[in-house]
Amino acid sequence: MPEYWLGVITPFAVLAGLALTGALGYLMFRLGDWLGQQTHYHFVETINLEKNRRNPLEQSDRPEFQDSADKLRDALLVSPKLRMLRAFGRIVLIARDYEKKETDG
């Protein structure tokens, strides 16, 4: 009869162990998610195009973001290396702002 308490407490210990394992797994997942977001926002720069500043009475067939898009296009065209990726309904532009200097050797 002295081992009776072991049989009673075992299911509760198993449930507590599972709950602790689940809580630690969730904590590790959230920590990894937070670190991924911090890394992403550190390395990725988001550019929002400004609306054109025009006279509201002036009629134009150009979209309101066209001037800002033209400036962005011109800046990207002078970059030494440009890659464009289409993924999940978004366009990702990767531009290198320098060139490697070729060395003789």
Is the pTM higher than 0.85? The answer reads: no
- For 95, other C-beta atoms within 10 Å of its C-beta total 14
Q: What is the pLDDT of residue 60?
A: 62
Q: What is the pLDDT of residue 57?
A: 58
Task: Provide the residue range defining the domain that includes 60.
Answer: 45-99
Residues 51 and 24 both lie in one domain: no
Sign of CA dihedral 93, 98, 99, 100: negative
Residues 49 and 16 both lie in one domain: no
How far apart CA 61 and CA 81 sit, in angstroms, is 32
Look up residue 98 and give its two tokens. Answer: 């320098």
Q: What is the pLDDT of residue 76?
A: 75
Q: What is the pLDDT along the chain (105 residues), one digit of tens a residue?
A: 568 888 889 999 999 999 999 999 999 999 999 998 888 777 776 666 666 665 555 666 666 677 777 877 777 777 777 777 887 777 777 777 666 677 765
Residues 31 and 51 both lie in one domain: no
